[in-house]
Structure 1
Amino acid sequence: MFNSRLRIISFSILTVLFSITAVKSQPLSFLADSVTYLWPTDSSTLLSSTFAETRSAHLHAGLDIRTWGREGYQVFATRDAIVHRIGMSPYGYGNVIFLKHDDDSYSVYAHLNRFEPGLQSVADSIRFIDYRAAIDEVIEHKNIRYRQGDLIAFTGSTGVGPPHLHFELRTPEFKPFNPLLTNLRVRDTIPPVFRQLAVEYLDPETLKMQNYHIVNVNSVGNRYNFGDITVHGPVGLAVNVHDRANDTPNIYAVHTLTMVHQSDTLFHSRADYFPHTAARHMFLDRSYPILAETRRGFQRLYKVSGNQLPFYHSLKNHGLIQFENGSYPIQIIATDINGNRSVADVTIHVRGNPGSLNRDITHIPVYPDPPVFEMASIFNWKYIAIDHNEPVLLSSISENIPYQKNEAPYRYLPGSFIEKKISPGRKSTLSTPDKKAWIIFPEDALLDTLHLRMNIIHSQNEIYVNFEPDRLPIHRNIEFSLILPDYLRDNPRLALFSVDQFRNRRFFMSSTNTDGMIRGSLREISSLVISEDNTPPRLGSPRLSRNLAGNHIVIIPARDPETGIDFARSEITVNGLRGLVEYDPEKNWLIYYNPKFRPASSNRVEIVVYDGAGNRSTSSATI
């Protein structure tokens, strides 16, 4: 069942690709020249994204292969392998397969519509044990094996749309590496494109970031110029730069970045691989303050402390511009993995700088200091209302999003304010003086020493948790807890939201509301709101359909704009037969799935759906 080999001799484009020899510059010692990989799908040989691109929460760990907005293209085993792990989920990787190869390296195939029939049966047998639509299981003990070229799955859009195949290669240590370092190639004769330069101004004494300025580029061909920039102290430079390839409009990450002054290399980075545990360190490689405010991924040409990415091969004073007074021509060179190259020039004029060209830089802090705090008893919480249906994506191109500015008064309560310096390397707790709110920092949570201010603010039926500085990256999740005041203690519909104060949007966070306490795990230090959601999910009329495997399914439109659909808690039966409740958050669909279901001429559908705050909607219909 699992060894039905699919020969793809007719797919001539791929045949050409297989014969290309491995890249000569090979930083991954386990890869032998004799190891060849098969292009993993028959959808196309074009990419919509490449390795180490900016994402909302981490570095992109693989290639995204275009599927032309369609689902159901074939996915093949790139090498002989055993199935190590499978997952099915409406989030993250979606439906995913991890294959383990003979040299203990891995390949990953994500956002799949479904697995090949044999493997899908194995997955379903696990899911129907306790009716869990979402699973994440290591199944290597089942000894399911594929040969190179065997059909393993079909492309889809689960997890993160639109439809595409996400393909990764990982080392035996499970580190993602760029698949284009192997024999796999794409046609690319187009050099990278510079768009903007950011100048990050640092405090002359502490080197903590104070502000930034963005400069647009002037270009002629693939030669770019950012003009003349005058500085009065230490600065770090960062570039908004992307690559392109032939036959596709998509933009990609560059492979290397180099900054030189005359013959002196100040900075050189090369994105070949990274530990998966350091994927969040994208927020250090990129300028996180600029990313949080503008959604643009400016790649730093200097290295801040705490950054554990293995990209950096040449650094002088960590890449910091700390020159004596004078004028300095700087060249910034970007290359893609095919060797296409672009150069950008900028002249830095240093005026009144007390620093020295020979100053030895040993530490560039990650976190800024909080602003000066002025105590007051009445404040205005400024926020902006935005249509939750508007997409907010990371992009090099700005987007206009309609919004409405609002203000709400709030009160400062004694005992709800705390300011503390927290150091990495040991477990710490930040607690308000009244002990009613606290955060536990695991010893490896912080990337650097942090001077943090937390203020708890009460306003009618909401509680605001303000952090200064705000929107800070962390290495590991931190745990937030708050004891609810008496007037909110018995409210089961309170939920925790993170607040993006630059765009003033709220994002529901998974949390618990029990025993008069709200608890949640935070992926970043970002201001919070505890707010009530009393509105149950909205359900549409169910309808019969078939999935791409031909199985009969029932689709129920379901939407909850506040706290989202809790599909794992929901339940659907058709003609008394319980099924799995799958969820497509892009289409706002709940999907009833049971391979045993065969529709009758009249079918009774019973639906119970919950949202993230526990609100419940029920519906019965005959279809």
Structure 2
Amino acid sequence: MKSKIFFCTTFCIAFSLNSPLQAQNKNEGFGNPLPQSSSISAVFGEPRNNHFHSGIDFRTNRDTGMVVIAPYDGWITRIKVGYTGYGNALYLDHRNGYSTVYGHLERFAPVVEKFIEDCRYISQKNDLEEFPDNERLCVKKGDTIAYSGNTGGSTGPHLHYEIRRTKTQNPIDPIASGLYSLPDNIAPEISKLIIYDVVEIDGSYFYRRFSALKVHKEKAGVYSVNTDGINALPKNIAFGIMAEDRINDQRGTFAIAATTLRINGIEHFAYIINEFSYTETRFANAFIDYAAKKEKFGEIVKLFSESNCPLSIYEKNVNNGTVAVDTNKKTLFEINTMDHNGNETFLRFSLASKRTTASLLPSISNPDRMTIALPTAQSQLHHRGVKVTIPAKALYGPSVVEIRDSDLIGLQAISRSFSIGPNTIPLQKAIKIEVNLGAMGVNTMDRIYLARLQGAKGIAFIGNAINDSTIVADTREFGTFAVARDTTPPLIKTKNFVDGEVVSDQKYLFFEIDDLGSGIAGFQAYIDNEWAAIDYEPKEKTLRYKLRSNRVQPGISHIIRVVCNDNTGNVSEVITNFIW
């Protein structure tokens, strides 16, 4: 498909006066942004690591370069070039009140490529985010706007596609809103019912998995669970479910969109994930049982809200979802789940506990290095030269947090290692770690940093700010840490050519780039001593320079210099000649 993007504000204004957009139904489904594929791998609202998935992921046959088209008339409002998050991304506004987003792109349509290339060279920035003048880059439905890729935080080639409300920039469910059609008449499946013991601690609630019950399918869309063997329950309980959805003609399983809990026919707790704000997306860690997922137990969706989890998707929330057990009579429960197309499943069961059991309260065995931290207040821990500050609202609920020595050994570590956590506790806000270098036996401040030790995954840079012989860093994840020292420069070398080679048959010059310690912090490229835009792909440990006739004169020798630095200030460079 030929790109028809226009550099013309007046065209867009004139076009809008007699635009078919005004005749289009606001709720009419957008076209498919990826004409070569209608296969999807993820739907809206799926809880991911630290966020809710905010769109639909289209499969691209494990390859890059599929044509991406505008599903609706509009104009480009934002262009991002980068190697984290959505990577190369494009944002469009449409006159019907919606915006669309396209992530992990390989490249843009030629007109957009030219625009963003000029911006990069003017600013001399490799990573760039530009906001073109309103309606400068216009598109019509069906125009080629980009090509699918694998850039940014993508774990494999695909197209990430979002629909947002332009006014709020809240992402919405494309399927449930009717703006993208995906035929489906398969009801969700429920596999387990989880019962939690609930204890109040200073105004916050502590939840502990009490029992996991297998669910039985009675018929399509109707499930039950045998609770006859449950004669005793905690005084207060809450529920969670393990459920998944399937979609006609699609591979894999998908997350459900909504669940309602009713007690004796009265709605007690309900959520629906059809829209959310990006300011609340990290609360996905509290929407599911984070510890269960970390422990490989499975993904449990909670039918209760943690003390610090003000999600807007909760439509009914009586007593935070907590249920007081009645030992005098049978209580009837119904859990109703729904997928993105409105297909429903019902789980019905009863509980008739004859007595209540004592709840297991969280406890600490060593007050010097352990605490019951609450989401409502700041907590601090001290242990052998390590100080940890947990601010208010960092936690979702009461948690037993400890510092302890660790036997884990990390590459470049020059101090003993220590663990803070456990790492099965999620964090909404960052905690502060302060390490006294003298107490840790560290007698140098040269190129040191606080590192997260990840076992077989190696080591990760956390921070390297030093204040009065104390190294300080913030992190939003518990784990095992140590002070490390990195004195080794990054590795950088050519990949697809050698010094002096004629590369007239190449479109790109590739460089291998890696750092085994503190990690890559920055990079720059220069052609004949002039700054040059270069792209970074961390997953492939590759820098890529695109050869362009307007930047590199063909047929003569050129010098390319690539400079790279890591997080502790070590610098490497490679200088080589080529003829294009």
TM-score (norm 2): 0.79
Range with greater deviation from structure 2 (305-314 or 483-492): 483-492
CA distance in 2, matches of 1:150, 1:479: 49
Does the C-alpha gap of structure 1 residues 162 and 354 become closer, same or farther in structure 2, counting only changes over 3 Å?
Answer: closer
Write the mapping of 1:106-121 to structure 2, written as runs, cut at 5 A: 106-121=99-114
**Contact 2:371–2:381 (CA<8 Å) still a contact in 1?**
no
Does the C-alpha gap of structure 1 residues 150 and 506 become closer, same or farther in structure 2, counting only changes over 3 Å?
Answer: same
- Counterpart in 2 of 1:73? 66
Displacement of 1:604 in angstroms is 5.7
Does the C-alpha gap of structure 1 residues 125 and 258 become closer, same or farther in structure 2, counting only changes over 3 Å?
Answer: same
Write the mapping of 1:31-430 to structure 2, written as runs, cut at 5 A: 33=26, 36-102=29-95, 104-140=97-133, 143-159=136-152, 160-171=154-165, 172-180=167-175, 181-203=177-199, 207-219=205-217, 222=220, 223-228=222-227, 230=230, 231-233=232-234, 234-294=236-296, 296-325=298-327, 327-353=330-356, 371-374=363-366, 419=371, 424=376, 430=380
1:592 aligned residue (520, 545, 548): 545
- Counterpart in 1 of 2:450? 496
- Secondary structure of 1:145's counterpart equals strand
CA distance in 2, matches of 1:208, 1:440: 18
CA distance in 2, matches of 1:100, 1:477: 34
For 1:488, give the aligned amino acid.
Answer: V
Please list the CA deviations of residues 455-493 of structure 1 after superposition, one character each: whole Å capped at 9, or x if unmatched: 688998225454356543344444544443385353434
For 2:113, give the aligned amino acid.
Answer: Q
Give 5+ residue unaligned stretches, structure 1: 6-21, 23-31, 356-367, 376-415
- Equivalent pairs counted in the alignment come to 538
TM-score (norm 1): 0.74
Does the C-alpha gap of structure 1 residues 468 and 163 become closer, same or farther in structure 2, counting only changes over 3 Å?
Answer: closer
**Contact 1:334–1:342 (CA<8 Å) still a contact in 2?**
yes
1:570 aligned residue (507, 513, 523): 523
Range with greater deviation from structure 2 (105-114 or 294-303): 294-303
CA distance in 2, matches of 1:36, 1:4: 27
Displacement of 1:2 in angstroms is 2.8
Displacement of 1:166 in angstroms is 0.8
- Secondary structure of 1:350's counterpart equals coil
Root-mean-square deviation (CA, aligned residues, Å) is: 4.0
Does the C-alpha gap of structure 1 residues 421 and 224 become closer, same or farther in structure 2, counting only changes over 3 Å?
Answer: closer
For 1:179, give the aligned amino acid.
Answer: P
1:512 aligned residue (442, 457, 464): 464
Displacement of 1:124 in angstroms is 1.7
**Contact 1:579–1:593 (CA<8 Å) still a contact in 2?**
no
For 1:555, give the aligned amino acid.
Answer: F
CA distance in 1, matches of 2:40, 2:182: 8
Give 5+ residue unaligned stretches, structure 2: 9-23, 499-504
CA distance in 2, matches of 1:444, 1:139: 38
CA distance in 1, matches of 2:71, 2:428: 32
For 1:511, give the aligned amino acid.
Answer: G
Displacement of 1:348 in angstroms is 3.7
User: Is 1:523 paired with 2:524?
Assistant: no
Displacement of 1:50 in angstroms is 0.4
- Secondary structure of 1:128's counterpart equals helix
Does the C-alpha gap of structure 1 residues 35 and 145 become closer, same or farther in structure 2, counting only changes over 3 Å?
Answer: same
- Secondary structure of 2:92's counterpart equals strand
Displacement of 1:535 in angstroms is 4.8
Range with greater deviation from structure 2 (124-133 or 267-276): 124-133
**Contact 1:74–1:155 (CA<8 Å) still a contact in 2?**
yes
Please list the CA deviations of residues 390-423 of structure 1 after superposition, one character each: whole Å capped at 9, or x if unmatched: xxxxxxxxxxxxxxxxxxxxxxxxxx95858566
- Secondary structure of 2:113's counterpart equals helix
Does the C-alpha gap of structure 1 residues 225 and 614 become closer, same or farther in structure 2, counting only changes over 3 Å?
Answer: farther
Range with greater deviation from structure 2 (124-133 or 219-228): 219-228
Please list the CA deviations of residues 118-176 of structure 1 after superposition, one character each: whole Å capped at 9, or x if unmatched: 22222222222353221233334583332333322111111113111111112211211
Please list the CA deviations of residues 105-124 of structure 1 after superposition, one character each: whole Å capped at 9, or x if unmatched: 42211111111112222222
For 2:171, give the aligned amino acid.
Answer: P
Range with greater deviation from structure 2 (526-535 or 165-174): 526-535
**Contact 1:109–1:167 (CA<8 Å) still a contact in 2?**
yes
CA distance in 2, matches of 1:481, 1:133: 33
Displacement of 1:55 in angstroms is 0.8
